[in-house]
Structure 1
Amino acid sequence: MKMFAAIKPTSLMRAALLLGVIMTLSACSGDSDLREWVAQEKAKKGAPIPPLPVIKTFETFTYNDQDQRDPFSPSTAELQPANSGPRPDENRAKEPLEMFALDSLKMVGTVGGGASMEVLVKDPGGVIHRVRRNEHMGQNYGRVTAIAEDHIDLVELVSNGNGGWMERPASIALGEK
């Protein structure tokens, strides 16, 4: 034990440093393989670069209709006041079939004949309703205008996008859906 006590810490540190330098130098001597591989990779030719695409030239067009109506501005018919034209009666009590979309309703038959003909309409819940002319159905204020044995004709009120309303015809055929 006295032998180790005679070694000073500074000489121990010098020996460790010398050992580290020797190991580092021995690791550097093996990098000739790496240098060869890098040289081989650099010597290889790369893939050819594809040619640039041909730029298409477009024919110019001169717009000569500046004095005409702008196709992107609303027409005079669309600028009519919102209070002109048809309007839904907001004070009218809603009928049972007005809470369903028109395409979810199904005509299943008719009752009676002539002017007193009624149509049988099945709602999505499976309940069958009797509907007469001038009654309402569908979510767009649809009013029944005509009843035939094979179809119902309606007129719906839909928004025209400018705060007004416009009428749109619709129909439901017998056995549809």
Structure 2
Amino acid sequence: MPERPGLLPIWTVLAALSWLLTSCADPDLAQLETYATRIKAREPGPIEPVPEIPPVTTYVYDPDERRDPFTMDDQSAEVAQQGLNGLAPDPTRRKEPLEAYSLDALRMVGTLEQDQRRWALITTPDGRLHRVQVGNFLGRNNGEIVKIKPDQLELTELVEEQPGQWQQRQASMALKD
């Protein structure tokens, strides 16, 4: 077997370490043997019986001819869809990026106009600039832009007052200098 240059010091350290550990052991094991004999000679204590487990009554749910308790029935779904007062946001509409922010966090910084069309320029808290027009949505309360003026925009929000009851509310955002 070829010798490796760094192997001899490792074996020397391991041999010295094992010699130190074995020299620390007490060669007189009489006290330990006496203790073990005393433990073995003791009478074993009584073992308590395992407590009786009462039988569990089982219930089998038979879903035949019953409605699923985790889904709405048709009437409840229709009421939830349209709201109790007929107002409700469209759940199939894709959310727009500015709906992730509250109105207080957004700033109107300008307007653009071309060919009788007007856009508002909105900045987000992270500094991104967005161009919006009438019909776009912004804010967390389903706010739809209904009018853009040179110095402000007006929107109609749908706020859920109680579960299933939506209230329309007017809001505006003024141009910030």
Normalising by structure 1, what TM-score? 0.51
Runs of 4+ with >3 A deviation? none
Q: Any gaps of 5 or more consecutive residues in structure 2?
A: 1-81
Q: What is aligned with 2:174? A: 173
Deviations 1:122-172 (A, max 9, x none): 011100000000100000000000000100100000012252101000000
Name the aligned partner's letter for residue 131 of structure 2.
R
Q: Deviations over 1:32-70 (max 9, x none)?
A: xxxxxxxxxxxxxxxxxxxxxxxxxxxxxxxxxxxxxxx
Of all paired residues, the percent bearing the same amino acid is: 40
Q: Residue 155 of structure 1 corresponds to which residue in structure 2?
A: 156
1:35-50 correspondence runs (5 A): none
* Distance of 1:114 and 1:105 partners within structure 2: 27
In the alignment, structure 1 residue 101 sits paired with structure 2 residue 102: yes
Instruction: Tell me the SS of whatever aligns to 1:117.
Output: strand
Change (3 A) 1:136 1:120: same
Q: Secondary structure at the match of 1:103?
A: helix
**Structure 1's 159 and 114: CA in aligned 2 closer, same or farther, altered over 3 A?**
farther
Equivalent residues, number: 96
Deviates more, 1:99-108 or 1:159-168: 159-168
State which structure, 1 or 2, has the greater radius of gyration over its C-alpha atoms. 1
CA distance in 1 between counterparts of 2:124 and 2:152 reads: 16
SS of the residue corresponding to residue 87 of structure 2 reads coil
Alignment of 1:10-159 (within 5 A): 82-113=83-114, 115-159=116-160
Distance 1:116 1:150 in 2: 15
Equivalents in 2 of 1:84, 1:148: separation in Å?
Answer: 31
Q: TM-score, normalised by structure 2?
A: 0.51
